[in-house]
Structures are given as C-alpha cells and as structure tokens.
Structure 1
Amino acid sequence: MHKAIILRDTVPTESIDILGGVINVMSDAGQGDEQSVTVQESEKSGFGPPPHSHPWSETFYVISGSVDFMLNENGYHFEAGAMVYIPEHQVHAFQSGVNGVKMIEFTGPGSQALDLFRSLSTFLKNSSPEELDRVHQIFSQHGATLCI
C-alpha cells in the first residue's frame, strides 16, 4: 500500500546548498516517505544541474521566477505556474532565469536524489570545481549519469 505524503508545514527538514541555490527538503524517501519532495530556489540566474539522467522520474512545478529546461536536447522556457514531468532515464538540465526561480520537485520511486544532492554539496564545499571526474563518480554512486 502506498503511503500518503501530507505536508502541513512549510519549514524544511533540511536545507542543502548546491550549485548556486538551496534545496529545501520537505519529504525524504530515504526516511520512509513514498517519495522525496523538495523546494528548489535561487535568487539569481544560472542555478541548476548540468545535463544528466537517472532511473527515477521527476516533476517540477514553478512557483515563481523562471527556468530554462533542456529535455533530450530540446530547450524550453517556463515561468510561474508551469509544470514539467521528466520520465526516468531522460537527459535533462535546467538553469534559473534572470530573476531566479522557486520550484517544487517531486521525485519518483527509487529516487536517490537527496543523497546525490548531499554528497555533491559536501564535495563541492571541500574541493575545487576542476575535479569533474569526481563529480561523475558522485552521480554514478547514486544511480545517475552526468552527461558532460
């Protein structure tokens, strides 16, 4: 039986600084929830991951600001009110627009997204950005593929 996720509070259980933005954890599949729910936000442009894929789906809902998504080599611009569903194994990336973005992200079953975010955040805080090979390894350890 599937377990319902009920978010009664807007206070995150954890905040992860990464790639120029903040990922606020609202629900964590690694802690027994059915899926992970995050609020991802940045007040400036350029926040977001490089092209990558993983074996779980993701759904993003844009709360405010704007974001440019790349889905299988096609580019899309989304503003507040837009929703984007990304099936598993699809190459995708996004970057926040000029005034930043705030999005809710829902991950599908089997997601390792939060562990990936935590590992990558820790690595980037303690390393130089030139260590791309290690970034590839971190993605791989969490079931994702970095496509650069």
Structure 2
Amino acid sequence: MSSTSFVLKPNDRSPPLNVVGIRINVLVSDTDSQSQRITLQTGEEGVGPPPHCHDWDESFYVIRGQLVFTCAGQTSVCEAGTLVHVPAGTVHAFSFGPGGGEMLEVTGAGSRAIEMFRALDREIPPGPVDVEKTIQVANGYGLISRR
C-alpha cells in the first residue's frame, strides 16, 4: 500500500472509540498511511493508561486542558501547546488533568495503537475497568504493562 493524499472532513470520520474512558477519534489509520497514525483523544479528569511501553515511537500534542505525563520516571504537567515525544521502549503513562483535556497522538511506522484501540473498544465495556482483561487485550498488540 502506498500513501496517497487525502482530505478527511468531520463527517467522514468513523464514530469515536471508547478506550477505558478515553474518547478516541481516528484521524489517520493503518489503512490511510504506512508511515504514521494520528488520533484525537479526549478524556475527563484522572482518566489515562497506567505505566506501559511498546515498540513504536509516540508523540502527543496537548490541544486543550492539562495532562500529566510520566516518561522514564519523570513527571511533567503539560498545558495546551505542549508536545511530548516518547521513544519506543520508554515506560510512560498519562492522565488528564483538572477539567479534562484533549490531545493529538501521532505514532510512527510499525505502530499497532489503532488496532489495539479498536480491540479495547470492542472487548472492554464502558463502566468500571476490568484491569486484567484490559492488559490481556492490549498485550496482544505489543503493549507491555509496567504496573
């Protein structure tokens, strides 16, 4: 598959995914581009994944609100306009700050993030999170939990 240019208007997007309380809109998927994947993620205060790592690079750009990122043991409070880059294999976590927030996530070639998000949306129902099942599903897509 070769990448081609495209325009994605708001009505062209698939419905957002619900991944353990984070609303994820897929903007560029594995079927759109070989080199990158882009999602728009929105969450309420306190929502976010536990410490984990995977074998793809990941960058986040905070659009609205505040996010607390922990990367390689260092925690930073990130306001709108902040870019966070996480190299492959780096243990990281984040949570949305007071009032919630919104960010773009960009992953590079080899990322299985969107496939994992789709599986989590499909297999983990809304409500209290079944942590063990969530970890089991995510591990199938290359995520390694570091609880």
TM-score calculated relative to the size of structure 2: 0.87
Q: Aligned runs of 1:59-138 on 2, under 5 Å?
A: 59-125=59-125, 129-130=129-130, 132=132, 134-138=133-137
- The answer (yes or no) to whether the contact 1:70–1:92 under 8 Å persists in 2 is yes
1:58 and 1:7, CA in 2 relative to 1: closer, same or farther beyond 3 A? farther
The farther-off stretch of 2-11 and 73-82 is 2-11
Q: Which residue of 2 aligns with 1:139?
A: 138
1:127 and 1:17, CA in 2 relative to 1: closer, same or farther beyond 3 A? closer
RMSD of aligned C-alpha atoms? 2.2
- The answer (yes or no) to whether the contact 2:3–2:32 under 8 Å persists in 1 is no
Residues in 2 aligned to 1:5 and 1:46: alpha-carbon distance in whole angstroms: 37
Letter matched to residue 98 of structure 1: P
Aligned-residue offset at 1:9: 2.4
Instruction: Give 5+ residue unaligned stretches, structure 2.
Output: none
Q: Which residue of 1 aligns with 2:14?
A: 13
Residues in 2 aligned to 1:39 and 1:5: alpha-carbon distance in whole angstroms: 19
Instruction: Give 5+ residue unaligned stretches, structure 1.
Output: none
Aligned-residue offset at 1:10: 3.9
- The answer (yes or no) to whether the contact 2:56–2:87 under 8 Å persists in 1 is yes
Residues in 1 aligned to 2:39 and 2:142: alpha-carbon distance in whole angstroms: 19
Alpha-carbon displacement from aligned partner over 1:45-70 (angstroms, at most 9, x marks no partner): 01211111000111111111000001
Q: Which residue of 1 aligns with 2:24?
A: 23
SS at match of 1:56: coil
TM-score calculated relative to the size of structure 1: 0.86
Residues in 1 aligned to 2:102 and 2:26: alpha-carbon distance in whole angstroms: 13
Residues in 2 aligned to 1:36 and 1:113: alpha-carbon distance in whole angstroms: 8
SS at match of 1:125: coil
Q: Which runs of 4+ in 1 moved over 6 A?
A: none
Residues in 2 aligned to 1:131 and 1:97: alpha-carbon distance in whole angstroms: 21
Aligned-residue offset at 1:4: 6.0
Residues in 2 aligned to 1:139 and 1:112: alpha-carbon distance in whole angstroms: 10
